[in-house]
Structure 1
Amino acid sequence: MANQEVQDYLNNTVATLGVFYTKLHQHHWYVRGSHFYTLHEKFEELYDSVNEVFDEVAERLITIGGKPYSTLKEFIDHSAIQESPYTTEKSATEMVESIVSDLRILTDSLNKGIQLTGDAGDDVTQDLLIGYKTDVDKNIWMYQAFLGKSPVE
């Protein structure tokens, strides 16, 4: 059903979502300021959502014969999103900008995956990716609105 290229793509997506999930926790724990309550809650909602997709993508990979990455080292080594240790204080705005940047990396990756799975005839995986891209695009819009920006800026 799926070829090795689709399996490799999904595995890299697992790694990317693993790193993103951890970064979102970091923002959730360290956010400060007048928007604390709103952002603390929103960051938690986003990492919960990422966790669901993280699991769905890994399970889809297993379903098509792959073996998902499952260690932090594998996640870091294969993620499109770079980890960012919290060594200096970041403003709430900087955190939201970081999230938007990571969401844009995800949407670019999802576009490639949608094309790849379409070419491979893997409609089920393609549908999964299209559904997730819809959520990512919506989150870009919402976090950009928080920053007072257009979703396409």
Structure 2
Amino acid sequence: MSSQETVRRQADTVGENPVRIDEEKAKQIVEALNTDLADAYVLFHQLHKHHWNVEGAEHLDIHVFLQEAYEDVEEAADEIAERLQALGGVPHASMPALSAAATVEPEDEDVYDIRTSLSNDLEMYGDVIESYREHIELVEGLGDYATGEMLREQLEDLEEHAHVIDHYLEDDTLVLESATR
């Protein structure tokens, strides 16, 4: 680390922005987006955990799906952080700041059966989806249609992943129970 430190922008501040969103409005948007960013990282880590630990006959399909899902969440987080910068904000980047801003609760460190894991993922997706809908309404009400559009596009991906997980949790399967063989 450099012995000379120059803070260029303090965390939890919002300054002027090149997209001409009023500073007071930008503060509200930045706060909402930092929440979305924090929630995205909690979701990312939980999906990644389940990707690592999935077992059983459907291992490969679920393993591949979870990788796609966490990669999409990571890409969304990057877009959110870039938008925060454009609005004059400072994206949360440390684990303590992200943990404090997150509104979703991660699963603990234990490894669960895949049905429990996917149920936990679906619950978290639902919470994130609801938050996105509220934030889309907020940002568009403040005149930030570009952020609204970005969140709408991300919301489509979130809803699609939730839909896939819901299908994985259905009771119809081609995998036979060992007790019925």
Normalized against structure 2, the TM-score is what? 0.78
Q: Which has the higher helix share?
A: 1
How far has the Cα of 1:85 moved from its partner?
2.6
Aligned partners of 1:26, 1:56: CA distance in 2, in Å?
23
Are 1:31 and 2:31 counterparts? no
Instruction: Check whether the contact 2:107–2:120 (CA below 8 A) recurs between aligned residues.
Output: no
Aligned partners of 2:118, 2:35: CA distance in 1, in Å?
24
Residue 65 of structure 2 corresponds to which residue in structure 1? 42
Q: 49, 52, 59: which one pairs with 2:82?
A: 59
Q: 154, 161, 169: which one pairs with 1:147?
A: 169
Are 1:83 and 2:69 counterparts? no
* Residues 77-120 of structure 1 deviation map (CA, whole Å, 9 limit, x = unaligned): 11122122322x31111111111111101110001111001110
* Residues 109-133 of structure 1 deviation map (CA, whole Å, 9 limit, x = unaligned): 0011110011100010000011111
Unaligned runs of 5+ in 1: none
Q: Which runs of 4+ in 1 moved over 3 A?
A: none
Unaligned runs of 5+ in 2: 1-20, 172-181
Are 1:124 and 2:146 counterparts? yes
Instruction: Check whether the contact 1:93–1:147 (CA below 8 A) recurs between aligned residues.
Output: yes
How far has the Cα of 1:39 moved from its partner?
1.0
Q: 97, 111, 114: which one pairs with 1:74?
A: 97
- Percentage of identical aligned residues: 23
How far has the Cα of 1:4 moved from its partner?
0.9
Amino acid at match of 1:24: L
Instruction: Check whether the contact 1:7–1:61 (CA below 8 A) recurs between aligned residues.
Output: yes
Instruction: Specify the structure having the higher radius of gyration (Cα).
Output: 2
Amino acid at match of 1:143: I
